[in-house]
Amino acid sequence: MRVQAFRSVRVDRGHAAYAAPFVRRTGSIQTPGTVRSTAGPHVNGRLPDQTKRRAAFMGTVMRTPNRLEAREKVTGTACYTVDLARSPVEGRLAHAAVVQSTQATGRILSIDTTAALAVPGVQLIMTHLDAPRLKPINTLPGGELAVFRPLQDDQLHYNGQPIALVVADTAEQAQRAASLVAVGYAPPAHPPLLVLDETQAETPDVVGAGEPAVTERGDPDAAFTTADQRLEQEYCTQPHHHNALEPGAAIAAWDEAGRLTVQLGTQYAYGDAYGLAQAFDLGVKKDFKAVMKTGSAEPALNEKVRLIVPFVGGAFGGKKGNIHPLLAAMAAKQAGRPVKLVLSRRQTFSMMPFRGATRQRIRLGGSADGRLSVMLQEALVQNSTTSNFIEPVGEMTPKLYACQHLRTHHRTTRLAINAPSWMRAPGVAVSQFALESAMDEWAYHVGLDPLEVRLRNYAEHEPQSGHEWSSKSLRQCYQAAAERIDWTQRNPAPGSMHENQFRVGYGMATSLYHVAQMAASARVRLNADGTAVASSATHEIGQGGMTALTQLAAEALGLPLDRVRLEWGDTRLPYSSLTASSSTTLSIGAAIHAAARQLKHKLARLAVGDPVSPLNGLNPETLRLCEGRLVSETGQGEAITVLLVRHGLASLEAEAGTADELGKPAYGRAAFGAQFVRVRVDPLTGRIRIDRLVGAFAGGRIVNPTLAHSQLVGGMIWGLGQALMEETRLDEGTGRWMNADLSEALIMTQADVPDIEAIMIEEDDRRGHPLGIKGLGEIGVVGVAAAVANAVFHATGKRIRTLPITLDKLMA
Q: Name which of residues 700 to 729 contact ligand MOS (CB under 6 A).
A: none
State yes or no: residue 422 binds ligand MOS (CB under 6 A): yes
Stretch that binds ligand MOS, among 140-148, 246-254, 421-429, 732-740 (CB under 6 A): 421-429
d(CA 422, CA 318): 7
Nearer to ligand MOS, 260 or 707 (CB): 707
What DSSP string runs through 411-436? EEEEESSPPP---SSTTHHHHHHHHH
Shortest separation between residue 777's beta carbon and ligand MOS, angstroms: 7
d(CA 736, CA 161): 11
Shortest separation between residue 804's beta carbon and ligand MOS, angstroms: 20
State yes or no: residue 587 binds ligand MOS (CB under 6 A): no
Number of amino acids touching ligand MOS (CB under 6 A): 9
State yes or no: residue 423 binds ligand MOS (CB under 6 A): yes
Each residue of 262-297: b (16+ CB within 10 Å) or e? bbbbbbbbbbbbbbbbbbbebebeeebeebbebbbb
CB count within 10 Å of CB 465 equals 15
Shortest separation between residue 578's beta carbon and ligand MOS, angstroms: 7
Nearest CA-CA partner of 321 in 394, 238, 246, 418:
418
State yes or no: residue 581 binds ligand MOS (CB under 6 A): yes
Nearest CA-CA partner of 419 in 520, 521, 317:
317
Shortest separation between residue 306's beta carbon and ligand MOS, angstroms: 23
d(CA 585, CA 588): 6
d(CA 758, CA 8): 9
Strand-pair partners of 262: 252, 307
d(CA 192, CA 158): 9
Q: Name which of residues 635 to 694 contact ligand MOS (CB under 6 A).
A: none
Each residue of 306-315: b (16+ CB within 10 Å) or e? bbbbbbbbbb
Nearer to ligand MOS, 370 or 542 (CB): 542
Shortest separation between residue 588's beta carbon and ligand MOS, angstroms: 14
Cis preceding linkage at 560, omega within 30: no
Stretch that binds ligand MOS, among 258-266, 332-340, 418-426, 737-745 (CB under 6 A): 418-426
Shortest separation between residue 553's beta carbon and ligand MOS, angstroms: 23
Query: In the sheet that 564-567 helps form, which strands lie side by side, from edge to edge?
Result: 564-567, 532-535, 521-527, 651-657
Among 400, 580, 607, 681, binds ligand MOS (CB under 6 A): 580
State yes or no: residue 561 binds ligand MOS (CB under 6 A): no
Nearer to ligand MOS, 142 or 162 (CB): 142
CA 37 to chain centre: 31
Nearer to ligand MOS, 113 or 579 (CB): 579
For residues 9 and 480, the answer to whether their CB atoms sit within 8 Å is yes
Nearer to ligand MOS, 580 or 590 (CB): 580
Shortest separation between residue 746's beta carbon and ligand MOS, angstroms: 21
Nearer to ligand MOS, 65 or 775 (CB): 775
Nearer to ligand MOS, 106 or 780 (CB): 780
Stretch that binds ligand MOS, among 112-120, 323-331, 423-431, 713-721 (CB under 6 A): 423-431
Shortest separation between residue 322's beta carbon and ligand MOS, angstroms: 13
For residues 600 and 638, the answer to whether their CB atoms sit within 8 Å is no
State yes or no: residue 774 binds ligand MOS (CB under 6 A): no
Shortest separation between residue 254's beta carbon and ligand MOS, angstroms: 29
- Interface characters, 240-269, with ligand MOS (x: CB under 6 A): ---------------------------x--
- At 276, phi and psi to the nearest 5? -65, -40
Nearer to ligand MOS, 319 or 525 (CB): 319
For residues 242 and 261, the answer to whether their CB atoms sit within 8 Å is no
Stretch that binds ligand MOS, among 23-31, 271-279, 419-427, 520-528 (CB under 6 A): 419-427
Shortest separation between residue 245's beta carbon and ligand MOS, angstroms: 15
Among 340, 424, 514, 794, binds ligand MOS (CB under 6 A): 424
Each residue of 549-586: b (16+ CB within 10 Å) or e? bbbbbbbbbbbbbbbbebbbbbbebbbbbbbbbbbbbb
- Give the sign of the dihedral formed by CA 203, CA 205, CA 210, CA 211: positive
Each residue of 112-133: b (16+ CB within 10 Å) or e? ebeebeebeebbbbbbbeebee
- Interface characters, 316-345, with ligand MOS (x: CB under 6 A): xx----------------------------
447-450 long-range contacts, CB within 8 A, separation 24+:
448/370, 449/492, 450/507, 450/508, 450/790
Nearer to ligand MOS, 599 or 708 (CB): 708
Shortest separation between residue 428's beta carbon and ligand MOS, angstroms: 10
Nearer to ligand MOS, 194 or 671 (CB): 671
DSSP 91: S
State yes or no: residue 431 binds ligand MOS (CB under 6 A): no
Nearer to ligand MOS, 136 or 210 (CB): 210
What DSSP string runs through 683-735? TTT--EEEEEEEEEEE-B--S-HHHHHHHHHHHHHHHHHHHHT--PPB-TTT-
State yes or no: residue 513 binds ligand MOS (CB under 6 A): no
State yes or no: residue 502 binds ligand MOS (CB under 6 A): no
Nearer to ligand MOS, 227 or 707 (CB): 707
Q: Give the relative orientation of helices 705-724 and 49-58 as an angle to the nearest 10 degrees.
A: 120
Nearer to ligand MOS, 316 or 506 (CB): 316
Shortest separation between residue 316's beta carbon and ligand MOS, angstroms: 6
Nearer to ligand MOS, 424 or 701 (CB): 424
Each residue of 333-369: b (16+ CB within 10 Å) or e? bbbebbbbbbbeeebbbbbbbbbbbbbbbbbbbbeee
d(CA 663, CA 658): 10
- Interface characters, 278-317, with ligand MOS (x: CB under 6 A): --------------------------------------xx
Nearer to ligand MOS, 126 or 782 (CB): 782
Shortest separation between residue 305's beta carbon and ligand MOS, angstroms: 22
Please, which residues have CB within 8 angstroms of residue 16's CB and are 6 or more apart in sequence?
A: none
For residues 487 and 476, the answer to whether their CB atoms sit within 8 Å is no
Stretch that binds ligand MOS, among 3-11, 416-424, 639-647, 790-798 (CB under 6 A): 416-424
Among 162, 426, 544, 719, binds ligand MOS (CB under 6 A): 426
| Kind plus residue range of the DSSP H or E element containing 548 | helix 545-557
d(CA 329, CA 261): 9
- At 366, phi and psi to the nearest 5? 180, -160
Strand-pair partners of 263: 251, 308
State yes or no: residue 429 binds ligand MOS (CB under 6 A): no
State yes or no: residue 780 binds ligand MOS (CB under 6 A): no
Taking CA 451 as the corner, what is the angle to CA 447 and CA 455, rounded to the nearest 5 degrees? 100
Shortest separation between residue 259's beta carbon and ligand MOS, angstroms: 29
State yes or no: residue 409 binds ligand MOS (CB under 6 A): no
State yes or no: residue 779 binds ligand MOS (CB under 6 A): no
The closest residue (CB) to ligand MOS is 317
d(CA 696, CA 702): 13
Shortest separation between residue 656's beta carbon and ligand MOS, angstroms: 25
Nearer to ligand MOS, 420 or 637 (CB): 420
For residues 304 and 138, the answer to whether their CB atoms sit within 8 Å is no
Q: Which residues bind ligand MOS (CB under 6 A)?
A: 267, 316-317, 422-424, 426, 580-581
